[in-house]
Amino acid sequence: MIQIWALDCQSGSDRLEKQPTDLRQNTCYFGDRTLLKQLPIVGFFVLLVQIGFADLRSSGATLERATTAFNQGKFAEAEKQVDAAEKVDAKKPEIPNLRGAIFTKQKRYDEAAQQFNQALALDPKFYPAKLNLAEVNLLQGKYADAAQLYQELKQLDPGSELLEFKLTLCALLAGEENRATAMVDIMKFPGKTPAYYYARAAIALKRGQKETAQKYLENVKKYYSDEECAYFAQSLKEIDFTAPKPSQPVKMPDQQPQ
């Protein structure tokens, strides 16, 4: 149920170049087609493993080997390489971030969250770790906590359709269907990504309206490539929309004005 995104967050988006310099160094644009085309689909949830070019000259070379092992599903080897990288430079946030990714794949969610928090303690602007922490909260059913983190990230990238999609899923899975619908109502249409169509399909599936959902899933293919749709399609496949709603709706954080 996990998707791994390995990328250099310093490139890949026109929108990113408009960010202030101090943000460009540690953040990425989560919503445009360019970024989605770069990323392999391995499952549902997103795990960002950030490696900058400068890192490859020292402990980052070990991190690169760890990331390769991680992407190949060799988690014991990946953890071994992460431990080796930590001995060279324990102050790199990439190290606990990747270790947290390994723990998440192993469903050691509490330990994973600790690692992502450690990465943020080393660098509060290491936004991949914040995104990964949100994903772990979502995996654990902590929808309000996940939504809060997505909302904070959205302040950095207000136009991110991916984050809008994530926030919609949080609301929907938390039992706040009306809120989820209202969020999709104000999504950009047509967008740079197929997020709108898949968000609509998610709501229809949660309502048991399979034919309506299927129409959205068919129409989206008219406007977006299979590559652009892959992440969102996999997301819907991994969600159990027949699961009962929470006995009481989870109180979601208020959306911040953009």
**113-144 pLDDT, tens per residue?**
999 999 999 999 998 999 999 989 988 889 99
Both 90 and 178 in a single domain?
no
Answer yes or no: do 51 and 112 share one domain.
Answer: yes
pLDDT in tens, 44-100: 444 555 444 444 455 678 888 999 999 899 999 999 999 999 998 889 999 999 999
Does 128 share its domain with 23? yes
127 and 157, same domain (yes or no): no
What is the CATH classification number for the domain harbouring 176? 1.25.40
56 in a structural domain: yes
- Distance between CA atoms of residues 231 and 162, nearest Å: 10
pTM over the 0.85 mark: no
Residues 125 and 161 in one domain: no
Does residue 173 belong to any structural domain of this protein? yes
Report the 10 Å Cβ neighbour count for 166.
28
Is the Cα torsion angle 133, 134, 140, 144 positive or negative in sign?
positive
**Of all helices (H) and strands (E), which one includes residue 75?**
helix 75-88
Domain check: are 21 and 116 in the same one? yes
Convert the pLDDT of each residue in 226-244 to its tens digit. 999 998 997 788 788 887 7
Tokens of 37: 């085309």
Residue 175 lies in a domain: yes
Residues 171, 127 share a domain: no
In which domain, by residue range, is 35 found? Answer: 2-140
Q: Are residues 97 and 18 in the same domain?
A: yes
Distances in Å between the Cα of 54 and the Cα atoms of 85, 93, 130, 186, 249 are 14, 14, 22, 40, 46
Q: Which residues, including other chains, have CB under 8 Å from residue 49's CB and lie 6 or more apart?
A: 4, 5, 6, 7, 67, 70, 94, 97, 98, 101, 128
